[in-house]
Structure 1
Amino acid sequence: MITLNIFLVLVIYQCALSDGSKLNLSTEPCDVSDIECISKATQVFLDNTYQGIPEYNIKKLDPITIPSLEKSIEKINLNVRYNNLKVTGFKNQKISHFTLVRDTKAVNFKTKVNFTAEGELVIELPKSSKIYTGEVTIEASAEGGAAYSYSVKTDDKGVEHYEAGPETISCEIFGEPTLSVSSTLEDALKLDSDFKKIFTEYGKQLTEGRKQTACRIVETVYAVSVHNIRAAARILPKSAYFKNV
C-alpha cells in the first residue's frame, strides 16, 4: 500500500505562498486541539500549492494524472486496466480527525475528500481473447488516514525540523463509488455473453472492486501530497507548526 506520511502535513497548517516564489508563514501556529485553526490553515496551503511549485520541488496535485492502474482476476477470467486517469478534487480535501500525543510522540490524522477520475478503461477477457476499451468516469467519497510516531531533527544550520517515523495507513470509501462508461463500451459489454455471465455470477465482487480501485486512487494521490509536504517541511522550522508542542 502506498505510504501516506501525514505527520509532515503539520507543515501545511501554518504556511502559504505569498508571491509564488517564496514560502512564508501566514498565521500564528495552531493549538494541537484547535481543529478549526488546523483546517483553515490546511486549506490555505492547498489553495496555494495544488498547481505545483517547481522551485520548491512541490508537484502538481490537482488535477493529477495516474498513468495506469491494473487489476487481474484470474478466477473470473477478467483483467481490468485504467489508463491516464485525470483525478480532481484533492485540493479540497478536509481534515476530519487529528490527535497528537506529546508523551508518546504519536500522531493520528485523517482527511475526507470527494474526487472524480476520468480516463480510459480497458476490459480484457483472456480466455476468449476479447478486449474492450472506452472512456470511464469514477466518482467517490473517501477518507484516508495515518498513524505514526515523530521525532525532531536539527539541520546543519541549527534549525529544528519534525521528522516522521513509519506510518500505518487507512483508506475508507463512503457509499458506493459511481462508475460510468461511454455508451459504445456499455453497448459492447451488454452484447458480450461471456461478460454478462461474469457480471451475473460475480457482480458483488466487481462492485467491491470499485471500492478497491477508488482506494488505490486515493493512495496514489496522497503519495504526491506527502511528497509536497516533505518538500515544504524542509523549509519551515519546527516552531512554525504548533504553539504548544
Structure 2
Amino acid sequence: GSLKKRGLPTFKLPNLSSKDKAPAFVEELTDQTVVVGHLVTLTCRTAQPVTDVEWYKDGVPLQSSERVLISSTLKNYHLLTILVVSAQDLGIYACVATNPLGSASTCCIIKKAEIPCCPSRPEVAQVYKDGALIVWRPVESNSPVTYFLQYRKEGEEWRALTLDISDCCYSTRSLCEGQVYSFRIACISKAGMGPYSEPSAGVRIGKLSPGHVGSSTAPESADASERGFMADLHVEGGR
C-alpha cells in the first residue's frame, strides 16, 4: 500500500507541472530538401501537451486536405505531411503551439532538390604498392550529396570502385601493382546523379615521384592532377 501511495504522486507530477508551463519545443522543425512529386513530412515536438497547434506556409494558415495531412501524437509530436510535393509547396513553414499560458513557434524551409553540378577532376594525393589515395574538391549543393567513384585500368572499361562516399577523399588498396589507372567521379543528391568529372591523368600503381606527400584533403593546386586517377560516379558504369 505504501508503495502505491509513493508511486501515485510520481506518476502525476509531470502532468500537473505541464499545465503550469507555456509551450516549448524540445525538437524543432528542420529544413527539408525534396524532389517534386515525392512525399515529405515535417516533424516537431513540444515539451508537454498543448491546447492548440497551427501550421502556416509563408504566413498563411494550413488545413488538412487530401494532399496535406496534419496530425499530433500522444507523445507530443506534431506532423505535417505533403503526400505529393509540387513547386507551389516550396517555401517557409511554421508550427505554432498554444496553451492558456502562451505560445511558441518553430519554422523551416522546404526547398527543391537540384541535380548536382559537375565535380572538378579528381587527383591522386598518394600512390601505394597496391592502391592510391584519391581526393577532390567538394561540390556546392543546396542539399546533402554523396560521391560515386569509378576507375578504369588502361585499355579496359570503367568499373565502379565505391558508392555513397560522403567525404572528398577515398583510399583504395585493391589495384594491381604496375598497372596504369585513371578515375572519375560524379555527385549524387536526392534529385539524381550529376555529370561526370573529367577523368584524372593515368597513374601507375606502385610508382610515386620522389617527395610527393599524400594528403587526406583536397589539394590547393592542380599540380597533382598529372598523377591523378579518373574518378567516375556513374551508377551503371558509364562511359
TM range, smaller chain: under 0.3
TM (normalized to structure 1)?
0.26
Which of these two proteins has the greater Rg computed from alpha carbons? 2
Structure in which a larger fraction of residues adopt helix: 1
